Structure 1
Amino acid sequence: MAELILHHYDFSNYSEKVRVALGYKSLDWSSVIVPPVTPKPDLTALTGGYRRAPVLQIGADIYCDTRLILRELERRHPLPSLYSPGQHGFANAVAAWAEGPLFRSVMLYAWGTNHDLMPPELFEDRARMRGLPVPSVKSVERVAARSAPLVRTQMSLIEDMLADGRPWICGPNVTVADLAIFHAMWFLTDRSSRLAHEFNRFELLRQWMSRVKGFGHGRPRSMSAGEALEIARASLPSDPRTSLRQPEDPKLGSRVEVRAADYARDAIVGTLTFVDDDELAVGIHNDRVGDVVVHFPRIGFELREER
């Protein structure tokens, strides 16, 4: 089976989400460290311009966004499962909350509290991604203070989810909901212990965090970006599965643009090779990597014919 190559960086909470999934499934994988800020010439050569981390590479197939990365890991390594029957819809709904209102509050609180520990260029880079002015130190501290009560309120919700004695967020089985909530909670304490006190009154949440941390990160080995690009160049994209187009979708083989729906909206332009209810895939060519196929989740990305 083709090698799993994760392009990520250490304090990326979404990367941690995938690292824990690799640990839960006890997988071997190769670790390519990418810069946390642009430029990212090696990563964008693989992705056609997509700049967010993490990205999962399997030969000449490149998977973007953790929602799709986890589904692809599940497809290739189905046991132990992250998508238990009867819990899939519920788990995805919880994950949508965790990666929306919950994580936004956590991110603003943690960044404002730990701004002196962050790379100095990080705030400028993230502001540029969103088309906003670079915030001042005082403004991020004010936003952190406003976000703190929202974080505590939502931590209480997590505590309540576990109050009936269930070991995992959706019941007896681990699901994507556990990973989505964990990556938000992990962000509170990753850079420092300044916010560790927020867990003091949430005993069930602390115990659950310990269980998730116990999955570890699987068995990583270091790989250079150059080696990963050579693997892509020497590989062929996998044959596309049968597409299930919606009537409004562009035709297979047409030139299309794919953009994130929220921020970092640079277009990835290529040939549409696959589309169904969950996934979009476009073929691109780059002189550094040859022909690759870049995959995106359907939700959270826009698909349109090239203008």
Structure 2
Amino acid sequence: MLPQIVESANSLILHQYDFSNFAEKARLMMGFKGLTWRAVEIPPIAPKPKLTPLTGGYRRTPVLQDGADVWCDTKLIARELERRVPQPTFYPPSTSGAADAIAWWAEQQFMRPTALYVSGINADHMPEGLHADRAKLHGLPMPSIEAVRKAAFRNLQLVRPQVRWIADMLADGRRYLLGDVPCIADFATYHVVWFFRGRHIDCREVLNPYPRLLAWRDRMAEVGHGNRIDIDADEALAEACAATPATPRPSQPQEGDPRPGQRARVRASDNAKDWIEGEVHFIDADEIALLHENDEVGQVAVHFPRLGYDWRPMS
């Protein structure tokens, strides 16, 4: 049964580009919640002049906006959507713990070799400047097209056993990875599998030996994207400029955390070079939000997950 469009969230704006697999995860989560939402198409490579004013410099895709609040990373976007629209849930109690662990594996271990394989096979067909942009993001020198192709086949050997793990989870005939209903593990794994479509050369033959995996993939695709409305980036910037950050929930700082009102800086802990700085607006064990100001949009609250991100208090 496909989700019905039962909840309007016209205030939500997803900054994304259509071939981003992480954006596909967010789009599918919107569909699962039955949302009406707006989309801004952003560049796949830097600079991103109509995104970074909203994020304090964070450049990854996608980000979710509601007025002067912006949520970074699909892990946190999922939590925010769940808070707003609790049902249907990404987090059934019966899959608690296992679902988050599988989601972390999919995005931290399965995604990277898959991206290198698919983009390497399609090395001649990727957007101009993409290879250089991603190499810079990871602190690596610009690779040759031949080096990118060779990396594809090295990473294929890492991809195949992990594809088999997914197939093994589905081998008993279950409809989703952890049972009869989808959970966050399905969304986090599906968007990596979705990426096998490639851009020009299709890479889905890696999945073909596993008919139950293919059937699961098709069930996830049927969730759809809800009701998407495309808008211009200037409209999103204007909304941020006209708004003020929402009053935060009560903070629950952990030992050693900065307190609301103190200044701190945050960045992704894997390979990000640039810190996002601001005053702590909200903090608990799962999330930290910083108030950031700039001339284009005024003050915004930029929200980050704690897991996978590094933070430092500032004097």
TM class, shorter-length: over 0.9
The equivalences for 1:99-248 within 5 A come to 99-248=107-256
SS in 2 for 1:41: coil
Higher alpha-carbon deviation: 56-65 or 185-194: 185-194
Cα deviation digits, residues 16-57 of structure 1 (max 9, x gap): 100011111111000100000111111000001101110000
Q: What is the deviation of 1:193?
A: 4.8
Give me the whole-angstrom Cα distance separating, in 1, the residues matched to 2:243 and 2:57: 20
The equivalences for 1:87-106 within 5 A come to 87-106=95-114
In the alignment, does 2:91 pair up with 1:83?
Answer: yes
Do 1:13 and 1:187's aligned partners in 2 also have CA atoms closer than 8 Å?
yes
How many percent of aligned residue pairs carry the same amino acid? 48
Q: What is the deviation of 1:5?
A: 0.2
> Under a length normalisation based on structure 2, what TM-score does the superposition of the two structures give?
0.95
Two-structure CA RMSD over aligned residues (Å): 1.2
1:70 alignment partner in structure 2: 78
Give me the whole-angstrom Cα distance separating, in 2, the residues matched to 1:190 and 1:82: 27
In the alignment, does 2:37 pair up with 1:29?
Answer: yes
Opposite residue 243 of structure 1, the aligned amino acid is: S
SS in 1 for 2:51: helix
Do 2:122 and 2:198's aligned partners in 1 also have CA atoms closer than 8 Å?
no
Do 1:252 and 1:273's aligned partners in 2 also have CA atoms closer than 8 Å?
yes
Opposite residue 283 of structure 2, the aligned amino acid is: V
2:65 alignment partner in structure 1: 57
Higher alpha-carbon deviation: 62-71 or 86-95: 86-95
SS in 2 for 1:192: coil
Cα deviation digits, residues 32-90 of structure 1 (max 9, x gap): 00000111111000001101110000111100000000110110011111011131211
SS in 2 for 1:273: strand
Higher alpha-carbon deviation: 245-254 or 295-304: 245-254
Ranges in structure 2 where 5+ consecutive residues have no aligned partner: 1-8
Give me the whole-angstrom Cα distance separating, in 2, the residues matched to 1:99 and 1:254: 32
In the alignment, does 2:288 pair up with 1:273?
Answer: no
**Residue-pair matches, total:** 307
Cα deviation digits, residues 210-265 of structure 1 (max 9, x gap): 00000111111111111001111111211111111112111221111111101233
Q: 1:24 to 1:221 in 2, by over 3 A?
A: same
Cα deviation digits, residues 80-135 of structure 1 (max 9, x gap): 11011131211110011111221112111101101111012001111111111011
In the alignment, does 2:41 pair up with 1:41?
Answer: no
